Amino acid sequence: MIPLRDDNPTSITPFVTYALIAACILVFLWQMSLGEKGFEAAVLALGVIPAALLGDARLPPELYLVPPVATVFSSMFLHGGFMHLAGNMLYLWIFGNNVEDSMGHTRFVIFYLLCGVAAVLAQALPNPGSTIPMIGASGAISGVLGAYLLLFPRAHVLVLIPLGVFTRLIHLPAMFVLGFWFVLQLINSALVEGGQGGVAWGAHIGGFVAGMILIPVFKYRHVRLFAPPRHGE
């Protein structure tokens, strides 16, 4: 199930959402310009390595670009490949504008970064000795999804559903689309032992929960939780 767009107009231009998307794309183009070895070095130098962030592990001097705590933020703008980037930016494009609209530009920046921090900790704390670098915007974007679920659970989302060699377009409530997404994260997290694997499922879960916790604090007072859709089809 792939979301394509929501039916939920905004009252502002979501400059921060656009800027975040642009920044991630530009950083990925920079990564690609480094070549294969440079790409890997950038991931090691700027991604979060739990053993370095929470323990005594140290990178070789040639890879030490920023302090480990700074990688919590730099990692949010790195991606491991085109599909990794495209999937994250699709979700941020669809759901980020409404969450930004609910709290304003400045609060949204802080909200987004805090969700990213929570996502990193949710992945790193259970596996503090891991030397696998964590990169990607998905943890912070998961927080956006959690906030959207509480803000607009009945908003309509157009999704593409693959059915073998066929596909179907259908409108579904956001509560179903995002709820289904969250359940998949829980299932995949339970199936992966010891935090290993190529996807940081714990970061997705942590970011999502953080977004749900933070949205009542960050939203404007006049913005209601569980609001009805602004218009539907």
pLDDT surpasses 70 at 188: yes
Any idea which residue has 């979700």 for tokens? 91
2-218 has which CATH code? Answer: 1.20.1540.10
pLDDT surpasses 60 at 233: no
Distance from C-alpha of 101 to C-alpha of 9, rounded to nearest angstrom:
10
Write the pLDDT tens digit of every residue in 74-88.
999 999 999 999 999
Distance from C-alpha of 154 to C-alpha of 105, rounded to nearest angstrom:
24
Does residue 162 contact residue 77 with C-beta atoms inside 8 Å? no
pLDDT surpasses 50 at 171: yes
pTM of the model: 0.93
Write the pLDDT tens digit of every residue in 27-55.
999 999 999 999 999 999 999 999 999 99
Weakest-pLDDT range from 22-26, 153-157, 161-165: 161-165
Angle at 174 between CA 169 and CA 176, to 5 degrees: 80
% of the chain residues with pLDDT over 70: 96
Domain boundaries, the chain: 2-218
Q: What mean pLDDT do residues 148-170 have? A: 93
Write the pLDDT tens digit of every residue in 109-127.
999 999 999 999 999 999 9
Band (pLDDT 50/70/90 cuts) for residue 165 is confident
In terms of Cβ atoms closer than 10 Å to its own Cβ (0-12, 13-18, 19+), residue 125 is middle
Determine the pLDDT at residue 196: 57
